[in-house]
Chain A
């Protein structure tokens, strides 16, 4: 038998080292004297945690320097998927984590957090500043029950991407708004495809919601109501119009071979291959993605973007809205400083830099006139994005958004089986889930 003594010594040494390092780490994370540290929970973007890559990390550094020692911003990266981001933020907020100074949140979660009372109120004196010059959809998405509860940072919207040659061959006049029916007809005629998102995931809700809103419908008729009184507008003429389009795209073959598993990337691939390339509904990153391929796409000049297709002819379309809003947690120790920091983060200069470097469009209208931005989004695409953002409609604002979205996706899947009774089934299922009468 070996003597146990040295081993115990090693174990004791290790244990004490561990405890000591934990103590050091704990000290390190709290304020290290001087300026208070604001923690900014960022969604992963092109810049990652590198403060030189033009992402939120760089903005954090810029604003720390600009504050003149008033505050320091340290970043914490959230998980990749929006639902995992929500889970982490939600659990921290619910537990009263005092490090929730600044948060980058997906617009669809604003309502849930605000309703639960997790967000620190926006100072009345700054409201004007946070809404002036902003695109309307971003302001709408930052409000809950008529009050500004978050600050628009960047704003995303889907465009209709198309091949000029294909549109010309089909005889479509793209200078005027087109309808879904028209592009389905054009794709059939030219034997090309329309890239859409029909997989069972959030992107599918984006499509369903845009179609219903485009027909003048509202998925939630009385936002803010309790689950017992909530009224949905899915089972309506607008819902049926949407169902008809989804069915047509999925069953006529113009959506490609696998609409039911198509996400943004799959739709982009469909548009990228020359033989099927015709139309695509997708976010503005498409142009950068297409121009960044190797070997170079020879028909890049043939690519153009216009506003999202209309559900009903003559009715202005309702392009999907996305992006990121900034919010301050209720338990933050320095809410006033945090809002100061937000003012710096959302300055037009930072928004322009962010738009150029990461491709995420700004929420301030004036940024789109910036020469650098125009260079990054050429062929008038910058202007199309701005117009589209003005008409964009956020997905249903509700504290129960997650359930509504998942319920819609489940009942509308697979896209090929969507028919005129789907909206009714989806509506009653979602209401049952909200009332605790069905599991999701």
Chain B
């Protein structure tokens, strides 16, 4: 299936390289004229800060100590990549990314399939499912924080009730690394599963129902239909959803910031960048870390696009 798509794309790309007609050239120059100003603004507001951050990352520079500014070339990168705190934040971030992604995919797929099948309250259902996603992350982080805290929360009371009193009412969810990460992940999953399910629903809608019926007639089980017909047919949408969500999750900041503030080894990479640049005003080291985070995002995107062949421009052809 995927090979067929690939060949289709390469043939589509072929004629583009041929000599342009006058009309095409005219259209292209009009396109540049129309999009040019916006493009320039984009360059100014994104490229300039990126280049400036890379420049700053080569210095040992503290905002409040301008005289102490020293050029250290790649020194900040060497320090960061050799520091246990960085790797701890790295591991924490990726634990969150992988755990939330797996659960969001499974739950999102389930919700999408339900939404795809249900006909009657379709619009209402889609709206209801979207509610968690429409809540501001900081607000949802606070509600999960208060729900899990031992003094204001109800988690312990419920668990205590369902375990017939075996659960400690004063259990401190934010007292340890794993229990804190569990709540952080739960909050993330609750909040972003709707996004996942909407993207997957769009993919499901593309699946040709005739193929599904044919498989059914041939005696394929439900699982076979899912893995051999539905999933391969919506692979593009699936991979785009996974890519978007991964890139989003790598930058996680609000939830752990509100809930633990980075205590008990729950510091994420974005939070580390924040502490260095905003609290310590170590602009140099902070920029270096931000560049590293940017590179991580680039690498992930590269892996997805090249290795999993995600086609981000699928809609163009």
* Residues of chain A having any CB pair with chain B under 8 Å: 83, 87, 90-91, 94, 112-113, 115-118, 200, 226-228, 399-400, 402-403, 435-440
B72 touches A227 (CB 8 A): no
A399 touches B65 (CB 8 A): yes
Chain B residues numbered 235-283 whose CB sits less than 8 Å from any CB in chain A = 263, 272, 275-276, 278-282
* Chain B residues closer than 8 Å to A437, beta-carbon distance: 79
A228 touches B65 (CB 8 A): no
* Chain A residues closer than 8 Å to B67, beta-carbon distance: 226
Q: CB of B56 within 8 A of chain A?
A: no
Give the Cβ gap from A211 to chain B, nearest Cβ, in Å.
Answer: 24
Q: CB of B49 within 8 A of chain A?
A: no
A83 touches B64 (CB 8 A): no
Q: Nearest 4 pairs between A and B by C-beta?
A: A116-B64, A439-B85, A439-B83, A436-B60
| Closest chain B residue, CB of each to CB of A93 | B64
The 8 Å CB contact of A440, one of B60, B278, B280, is B280
**Given A115-B64, A116-B63, 13 extra CB contacts under 8 A:** A90-B64, A116-B64, A226-B67, A227-B65, A399-B65, A400-B65, A435-B60, A436-B79, A436-B285, A439-B83, A439-B285, A440-B85, A440-B280
Residue among B65, B76, B285 having the largest count of chain A Cβ atoms under 10 Å: B65
| Closest chain B residue, CB of each to CB of A200 | B263
Residues A83 and B60 in contact in the complex (CB < 8 Å), given A438-B83, A439-B83, A439-B285: no
Q: CB of B75 within 8 A of chain A?
A: yes
Q: CB of B66 within 8 A of chain A?
A: yes
Give the Cβ gap from A387 to chain B, nearest Cβ, in Å.
Answer: 35
Size class of the B contact interface (CB-based, 8 Å): 20 to 34
Complex Cα distance, B282 from A118, in Å, reads 17
* Chain B residues closer than 8 Å to A112, beta-carbon distance: 64
A-B contact pairs, 25 of them (CB 8 A): A87-B278, A87-B279, A90-B64, A91-B278, A112-B64, A113-B64, A115-B64, A116-B63, A116-B64, A116-B65, A116-B66, A117-B66, A200-B263, A226-B65, A226-B67, A228-B68, A400-B65, A402-B279, A403-B280, A436-B75, A437-B79, A438-B79, A439-B83, A439-B285, A440-B85
Q: CB of B80 within 8 A of chain A?
A: yes
| Closest chain A residue, CB of each to CB of B63 | A94
The 8 Å CB contact of A402, one of B79, B80, B86, B280, is B280
* Chain A residues closer than 8 Å to B85, beta-carbon distance: 438-440
Residues A439 and B272 in contact in the complex (CB < 8 Å), given A87-B278, A402-B280: yes
Residues A90 and B79 in contact in the complex (CB < 8 Å), given A112-B64, A115-B64, A440-B275: no
Q: CB of B108 within 8 A of chain A?
A: no
B65 touches A436 (CB 8 A): no
Q: CB of B284 within 8 A of chain A?
A: yes
* Chain B residues closer than 8 Å to A87, beta-carbon distance: 278-279
* Chain A residues closer than 8 Å to B72, beta-carbon distance: 436
Chain B residues numbered 204-259 whose CB sits less than 8 Å from any CB in chain A = none
Complex Cα distance, B80 from A159, in Å, reads 42
Give the Cβ gap from B267 to chain A, nearest Cβ, in Å.
Answer: 10
Complex Cα distance, B65 from A226, in Å, reads 9
| Closest chain A residue, CB of each to CB of B59 | A436
Give the Cβ gap from B180 to chain A, nearest Cβ, in Å.
Answer: 15
Per-position binary interface string of chain B over residues 109-124, scored 1 when its CB falls under 8 Å from any chain A CB and 0 otherwise: 0000000000000000
* Chain A residues closer than 8 Å to B279, beta-carbon distance: 83, 87, 402
| Closest chain B residue, CB of each to CB of A227 | B68
* Chain A residues closer than 8 Å to B63, beta-carbon distance: 90, 94, 116
Give the Cβ gap from B270 to chain A, nearest Cβ, in Å.
Answer: 14
Give the Cβ gap from B244 to chain A, nearest Cβ, in Å.
Answer: 29
Complex Cα distance, B80 from A403, in Å, reads 17
| Closest chain B residue, CB of each to CB of A112 | B64
B64 touches A399 (CB 8 A): yes
| Closest chain B residue, CB of each to CB of A84 | B279
* Chain A residues closer than 8 Å to B68, beta-carbon distance: 226-228
Residue among B85, B86, B281 having the largest count of chain A Cβ atoms under 10 Å: B281
Complex Cα distance, B65 from A117, in Å, reads 9
Complex Cα distance, B282 from A108, in Å, reads 18
Per-position binary interface string of chain B over residues 176-200, scored 1 when its CB falls under 8 Å from any chain A CB and 0 otherwise: 0000000000000000000000000
| Closest chain A residue, CB of each to CB of B88 | A439
Complex Cα distance, B272 from A113, in Å, reads 23
* Chain B residues closer than 8 Å to A436, beta-carbon distance: 60, 72, 75-76, 79, 282, 284-285
Give the Cβ gap from B265 to chain A, nearest Cβ, in Å.
Answer: 12
Complex Cα distance, B276 from A116, in Å, reads 18
* Chain B residues closer than 8 Å to A91, beta-carbon distance: 278
* Chain B residues closer than 8 Å to A118, beta-carbon distance: 64
Complex Cα distance, B68 from A112, in Å, reads 13
* Chain B residues closer than 8 Å to A227, beta-carbon distance: 65, 68
The 8 Å CB contact of B65, one of A115, A435, A440, is A115
B64 touches A439 (CB 8 A): no
Give the Cβ gap from B74 to chain A, nearest Cβ, in Å.
Answer: 12
* Chain B residues closer than 8 Å to A83, beta-carbon distance: 279
Complex Cα distance, B80 from A437, in Å, reads 8
Complex Cα distance, B66 from A91, in Å, reads 15
Give the Cβ gap from A138 to chain B, nearest Cβ, in Å.
Answer: 23
* Chain B residues closer than 8 Å to A113, beta-carbon distance: 64
Give the Cβ gap from B146 to chain A, nearest Cβ, in Å.
Answer: 18
Residues A439 and B276 in contact in the complex (CB < 8 Å), given A116-B64, A226-B67: yes
Complex Cα distance, B277 from A94, in Å, reads 13
